[in-house]
């Protein structure tokens, strides 16, 4: 892959207005603070002070930015989006081709001629790997699983039986797709396992972070729709549906049978209960806990930010007396909220 571009090439690819030398060659991206001569950086709206001190040769800036000491400016509507596009051209992901001789591949598996399988990977019976699929070292792909064109599994990804993964998926190391959902019935204090008979359906252009787990459905499938982006160490329980282009940050989790709409943004360590419905374009702040369905788009938050320990202990003590205080206010006729549970 080419890793050096002229500013003229870059400007054309991202639709930027170039103020400077179109023949200047860029071979590296860097932050404003750490850029050196020959580097390309980017500047978002709240970083203009850093722009005045950067040593970058060229900077991607918002359209309205006036001239600065930087010799070359690429002016665009959305510098962060332009940076995202440019970053892909400088990516240095190791290239993997062919089938490694130590890979174990069942005779009934269908491996496209352009697909590759890494060292010590296991491909079970009935698996279909489409064009340009990359299966990293030590991966496991279970029986009758299908992986779509251009998808990549990094090292040590485990995909259970009967899973469908669409085109251009990226699944990072340690992810587990299609493990059993947490389903048990209780009989006289003991648990009887509920067989998880569904699977996992992953659509196109999905990215799944390292050590994230997606459980298979109990009867219906767990469904991850087009363009969903999942960070590292996320738990998706059985029969969850994640709508198109929803993104979830690390350490968040969704309990079973919850449906989350399109274009939602779930902050880190957010916890979402089971059997809920969350509509489109809901934004959950980090560490939010959702115990009821959300039917209106918007920003939702919960949790208590960290405070100095002495203040925290005092607040906890007061919180424990809150119900008694509320009851007293009701008796005095000073409360306008008769039943706080109906909020």
Which residues does the annotation mark as catalytic?
A: 238
Phi/psi for 84 (5° steps) reads -60, -40
- CA distances to 9, 140, 208, 210, 290 from 182, rounded to whole Å, are 52, 22, 20, 21, 19
Torsion, Cα 68 70 74 80, to 10 degrees, reads -90
Length of the chain: 343
322-331 and 309-320 are packed helices; what angle lies between their axes, rounded to 10 degrees?
A: 40
Angle at the Cα of 175 from the Cα atoms of 255 and 291, rounded to 5 degrees: 15
Sorted by sequence, the CB contacts under 8 Å of residue 309 that are 6+ apart come out as none
3-state per-residue secondary structure call for 250-297: CCCEECCCCEECCCCEECCCCEECCCCEECCCEEECCCCEECCCECCC
Phi/psi for 241 (5° steps) reads -120, 125
Q: Whole-angstrom Cα distance, residue 216 to residue 163? A: 8
Q: Whole-angstrom Cα distance, residue 207 to residue 194? A: 29
Asked if residue 74 lies in contact with residue 10, where contact means CB atoms within 8 angstroms, the answer is: yes
Phi/psi for 87 (5° steps) reads -60, -30
Q: Is 58 helix (H, G, I), strand (E, B) or coil?
A: strand
Closest residue by Cα to residue 11 from 3, 2, 23: 23
- CA distances to 40, 91, 308 from 82, rounded to whole Å, are 12, 15, 41
């Amino acid at each position: 892959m080419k890793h050096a571009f002229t500013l003229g090439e870059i400007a054309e690819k991202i639709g930027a207005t170039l103020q400077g030398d179109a023949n200047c060659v860029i071979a590296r991206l860097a932050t404003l603070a750490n850029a050196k001569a020959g580097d390309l950086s980017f500047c978002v709206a709240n970083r203009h002070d850093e722009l005045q001190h950067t040593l970058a040769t060229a900077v991607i800036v918002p359209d309205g930015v006036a001239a600065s000491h930087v010799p070359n400016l690429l002016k665009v509507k959305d510098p962060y989006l332009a940076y995202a596009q440019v970053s892909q051209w400088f990516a240095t992901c190791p290239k993997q081709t062919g089938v490694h001789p130590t890979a174990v591949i069942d005779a009934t598996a269908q491996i496209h001629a352009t697909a590759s399988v890494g060292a010590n990977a296991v491909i079970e019976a009935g698996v279909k790997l489409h064009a340009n699929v990359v299966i990293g070292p030590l991966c496991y792909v279970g029986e009758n699983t299908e992986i779509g064109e251009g998808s990549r599994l990094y090292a040590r990804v485990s995909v259970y039986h009967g899973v469908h993964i669409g085109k251009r998926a990226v699944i990072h190391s340690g992810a587990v797709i299609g493990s059993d959902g947490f389903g048990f019935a209780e009989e006289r204090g003991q648990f009887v396992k509920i067989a998880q008979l569904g699977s996992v359906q992953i659509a196109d252009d999905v990215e799944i972070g390292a050590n994230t787990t997606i459980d298979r459905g109990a009867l219906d499938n767990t469904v991850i729709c087009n363009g969903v982006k999942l960070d590292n160490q996320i738990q998706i329980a059985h029969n969850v549906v994640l709508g198109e282009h929803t993104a979830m940050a690390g350490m968040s989790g969704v309990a079973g049978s919850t449906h989350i709409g399109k274009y939602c943004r779930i902050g880190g360590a957010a916890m979402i209960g089971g059997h809920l419905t969350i509509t489109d374009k809901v934004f959950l702040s980090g560490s939010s806990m959702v115990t009821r369905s959300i039917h209106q788009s918007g920003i939702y938050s919960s949790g208590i930010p960290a405070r100095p320990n002495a203040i925290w202990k005092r607040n906890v003590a007061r919180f424990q007396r809150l119900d008694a205080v509320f009851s007293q206010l009701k008796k005095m006729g000073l409360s306008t909220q008769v039943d706080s549970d109906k909020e």
